[in-house]
Amino acid sequence: MTGLSNRVAIITGASSGIGRAAALLFAQEGAALVLSGRNAERLAEVVGAIRSAGGTAVALSGDVADAAHHQHLVETAIAEFGGLDIAFNNAGTTGPVGPLPALDLAAWNAVVATNLTSAYLAAKYQLPALQARGGGSLVFTSTFVGYTAGFPGLAAYAASKSGLIGLAQVLASEYGRNGIRVNALLPGATDTPMGRQISDTPEALDFVAGLNALKRIAAPEEIAEAALYLYSPSSSFVTGTAMLVDGGVSINRV
Ligand SMILES: NC(=O)c1ccc[n+]([C@@H]2O[C@H](COP(=O)([O-])OP(=O)(O)OC[C@H]3O[C@@H](n4cnc5c(N)ncnc54)[C@H](OP(=O)(O)O)[C@@H]3O)[C@@H](O)[C@H]2O)c1
Mutate to test the pocket of ligand 1, among 12, 16, 243 (most ligand atoms within 8 A of CB): 16
Q: How far is the CA of 166 from the centre of ligand 1 (A)?
A: 20
Phi, psi (5° rounding) for residue 32?
-95, 130
pLDDT tier, 5 (very low <50, low <70, confident <90, very high otherwise): very high
Q: Is the pLDDT of residue 108 over 70?
A: yes
- Strand runs labelled E in the chain: 8-12, 32-37, 56-61, 86-89, 136-141, 180-187, 242-245
Residue 175 lies in a domain: yes
Q: How far is the CA of 177 from the centre of ligand 1 (A)?
A: 31
Residue 108 lies in a domain: yes
The letter for the amino acid at 219 is A
% of the chain beyond a pLDDT of 70? 99
Residue 3 lies in a domain: no
The pLDDT tens digits for 69-90 are 999 999 999 999 999 999 999 9
Q: Is the pLDDT of residue 1 over 70?
A: no
Q: Which atom of ligand 1 is nearest to the CA of 191?
A: 1
102 secondary structure, DSSP code: G
Find the mean pLDDT for residues 109-127: 99
Q: Is the pLDDT of residue 254 over 90?
A: no
Task: Calculate the average pLDDT of the chain.
Answer: 97
Residue 250 lies in a domain: no
- Asked if residue 47 lies in contact with residue 22, where contact means CB atoms within 8 angstroms, the answer is no
Residue 251 lies in a domain: no
Residue 22 lies in a domain: yes
Q: Say how many C-beta atoms besides its own lie within 10 A of residue 28's C-beta.
A: 17
- Asked if residue 184 lies in contact with residue 135, where contact means CB atoms within 8 angstroms, the answer is no
Q: What is the count of structural domains for the chain?
A: 1
Find the mean pLDDT for residues 122-140: 98
Phi, psi (5° rounding) for residue 45?
-65, -40
Q: Is the pLDDT of residue 116 over 80?
A: yes
Active site residue 229: no
Mutate to test the pocket of ligand 1, among 194, 197, 199 (most ligand atoms within 8 A of CB): 194
Q: Which atom of ligand 1 is nearest to the CA of 19?
A: 16
Q: Pick the catalytic residue: 157, 175, 229, 231?
A: 157
Query: Does any ligand 1 atom lie closer than 6 A to the CB of residue 195?
Result: yes
Query: Does any ligand 1 atom lie closer than 6 A to the CB of residue 72?
Result: no
Q: Is the pLDDT of residue 146 over 90?
A: yes
Residues listed for the chain: 254
The CATH number given to whatever domain includes residue 39 is: 3.40.50.720
The letter for the amino acid at 89 is N
Residue 82 lies in a domain: yes
| 202 to 111, 181, 199, 206: CA distances (angstroms) | 27, 39, 8, 6
The pLDDT tens digits for 225-237 are 999 999 999 999 9
pLDDT at 199: 87
Residue 2 lies in a domain: no
pLDDT at 198: 87
Residue 200 three-state SS: coil
Give the separation between CA 227 and CA 114, rounded to whole angstroms.
20
Q: Which domain holds residue 146?
A: 8-245
- Asked if residue 45 lies in contact with residue 57, where contact means CB atoms within 8 angstroms, the answer is no
Find the mean pLDDT for residues 125-138: 98
Give the separation between CA 94 and CA 151, rounded to whole angstroms.
12
Q: Helix H segments across 202-243?
A: 202-211, 220-231
- The residues that bridge with 180 in the sheet, in sequence order, are 136
Judged by phi (left if over 0) then psi (alpha if -120 to 50, else beta), residue 17 lies in left
Q: Is the pLDDT of residue 185 over 90?
A: yes
Closest CA to 123 of 54, 196, 64, 187: 64
Query: Does any ligand 1 atom lie closer than 6 A to the CB of residue 65?
Result: yes
Axis-axis angle for helices 118-133, 67-81 (nearest 10): 30
- Strand runs labelled E in 142-206: 180-187
